[in-house]
Chain A
C-alpha cells in the first residue's frame, strides 16, 4: 500500500465514522427530548411526506447550522446536519490528502489531477450549500 492509499483509506474511514457519530449523537438527543416531553418523534410519519418532515428542524445551509450549534445545549438537528456536512465533505478531504501525499512523492501528474478534482468538488459543495 502506497502513502497515498494509506492516508486516503484512513481519512475516508475517519470521516465516515465521525459523521455517523455526530448524526447518532443528534438523533439520541432528539429521542431523549421526545421522551421527556412525552411527544414521540413519529419517524415514520415524518418520513412519509415533506410537510410532516418539517415537524423536525431541517438545516439547509452552513449559516443555519452555525446558529443551531451556538446555543446550549446545541440543537439536535444542527448536530445531525453537522454530521451530514462532514460526510459530504469527506471525499473532497480524501482527495486533498492524496494531493499532499503525491506532492510529497514528487508525482506532479497526480498532484495536478487531485488539484483539478478538489477545485471541482469545492465548487459543487459551496455553490450548493451557500452561506
Chain B
C-alpha cells in the first residue's frame, strides 16, 4: 500500500471513530486501537499513543460543537472533571499498590449492573423531574438545551451529585491505574445516576475526556509512543469527524443514543470481568 493510500485510509477510519466518539461521549480509543492494530498493523504502543491523542482531538472537536449548541454543560463538566482528575492522579500514585484485577472485577460488576439499568431505560427519552440536589443548586449544575427532535427546550437538573462525583473519582482512579479511557463510566454516571438527559451526558463527557487524557498524555509523548506519521492522520480525521458528529447528534433521539451506547457498555463489562478473572490479558 502506498504512503498516501495508507495515510488516507487511516484518516477515514479516524474520522469514523470521531463521529461515533462525538455521539457516544467516548474518546474513540475503544474503536481506534483494534482498527489500528488489526487492520493497519500498527504496533500496540503506537496505537495506544494515537488513541490518547485521539481522545484529546475528539474532545476538542466535539466539545467545541457541543458547547456552541448548548448540549454540553460546562459547569457540570468542570465540577465533575475535578473529581476525575483527582482520581487519575491518585490512581497513578497507587500503581503497584492496588491489585488491578480486583479493581477490574469491581468495575466490571458495576458496568454489568449499569448495562442492566441502561436496558431498563432504553425507551426513556427524558428522565422524570426529581427534586433538585442541594449540591447541584450550590454549584449551578442545572441547564437547558434545545432538542431539535422534540422541537422544544428541555430543562434539566442533576441529582445524586455527591455519588456521581464519587463514581467520577473511581473512573479517574481506573484511568490512572490501568491507563485506560473512562468515557463510558462518565456517561453512565451522568445518565443513570445523576438522571441527566442522555445527549447532555455524552456531550458533557466529551468535554471532560480531553481534560482527563491531557493529564496523562505527556507520559505517552515522553516515551515516544505518539509517532508523527500515525498521529497526524489520526488527529486530523478524529477532529473533523468529531466536529461533524456534533451536527448529527442533534437529529438523534436520546433513546437512539442510549441504544447505540449499550453494546459498548456490554463489551466493556465483559472485557473487564474477563480480565479481572484472568481469562483475558
Contacts and interface: CB of A to CB of B under 8 A. Distances in A.
Co-complex (A, B): yes
Contacts of B4: 31
Interface of B: 1-4, 6-7, 40-43, 45-46, 53, 56-57, 59-61, 63-65, 67-68, 70, 72, 74-75, 78-79, 81-82, 85-86, 89, 138-139, 210-211, 213-219, 221-224, 226-232, 235-236, 239, 243
A80 to B, nearest CB: 4
B40 A44 contact: yes
B10 to A, nearest CB: 8
Contacts of B43: 47-50, 53
Nearest to A93: B214
A1 B70 contact: yes
B236 A44 contact: no
Interface in A1-35: 1-2, 4-6, 8-10, 12-13, 15-17, 19-20, 23-24, 26-27, 30-31, 34
Given A50-B43, A129-B218, A26 B63 contact: no
A43 B11 CA distance: 13
B236 A47 contact: no
Given A43-B6, A48-B41, A113-B78, A87 B218 contact: no
Given A48-B42, A53-B46, A129 B239 contact: no
Contacts of B2: 40
Contact of B3 (A10, A26, A40): A40
A120 B239 contact: no
A85 B89 CA distance: 21
B64 A13 contact: yes
B218 A47 contact: no
A130 to B, nearest CB: 6
B56 A90 contact: yes
